[in-house]
Amino acid sequence: MSIGRVPLSDAIARLLAELQQLKEGARIEFRGEDLAGSYGEAVDLTVYGSVREGVTNALRHADCSKVEILLRESSNTRTNGRLIPYSLHLSVQDDGRGISPEVTFGYGLTGMKERARALGGEMTIGPRQSGGTTLELQIPYDKASVDGDRSTEPGAAMAAAGE
């Protein structure tokens, strides 16, 4: 992929190690399930940027002790009323103070939503039942743009930043 030509899940793991410095005491856990190296530059950059914004928000605004990031492929999802054959699903969940459904988006969430929509995807954010906040993105990708090795070991892309 274009981010330093490293596989998407590795780029995310490095990013999370940097973001850990925003809040040393918080646990950041990343699970990338059976991911390819790249899903095309636009998709990679949108996912990468959304992880950065979502995790930064959790560490800055949520007063949380843990942030969990999950990235996986999904097939045949209904997104914006359309059937999407191939997409990536990203979730960023924290165990912090939660978020009001009526929150006013700043530049960070507005930009994330616009980038997701520009790719035919969608972004949602809201309170978790168990407390904290869940951010979710569904980003369609073109199968012909998928590139790079798929990790063969289950859990190979697991990374707990700072550990």
Ligand X SMILES: Nc1ncnc2c1ncn2[C@@H]1O[C@H](COP(=O)(O)OP(=O)(O)OP(=O)(O)O)[C@@H](O)[C@H]1O
Binding site for ligand X (CB under 6 A): 57-58, 61-62, 94, 96-97, 99, 103, 105-110, 133
Question: How many C-beta neighbours within 10 Å does residue 118 have?
Answer: 10
**Contacting residue, 63, 68, 89, 108, with Mg ion by CB under 5 A:** 108
Terminal CA-CA length for the chain: 25
Report what 32 binds from ligand X, Mg ion, none; CB cut-off 5-8 Å by kind. none
Quick one: CA dihedral 152, 4, 46, 13, positive or negative? positive
> Binding marks (x or -) toward Mg ion, 53..72, rule CB under 5 A?
----x---------------
List the single partner that 20 binds among ligand X, Mg ion, none, CB under 5 to 8 Å by kind.
Answer: none
12 versus 109: smaller Cβ distance to ligand X:
109
Q: Count the Cβ atoms, other than its own, within 10 Å of residue 61.
A: 16
Give 102 or 153: the residue with its C-beta nearer to ligand X. Answer: 102
CB of 96 to ligand X, least distance (A): 5
Q: Within 13 Å of residue 54, how many CA atoms lie on the same side as its CB?
A: 33
d(CA 85, CA 144): 12
Q: Which is nearer to ligand X, 1 or 112 (CB)?
A: 112
Cβ proximity to ligand X: between 11 and 67 the closer is 67
Q: Is 155 left (phi over 0), alpha (psi -120 to 50) or beta?
A: left
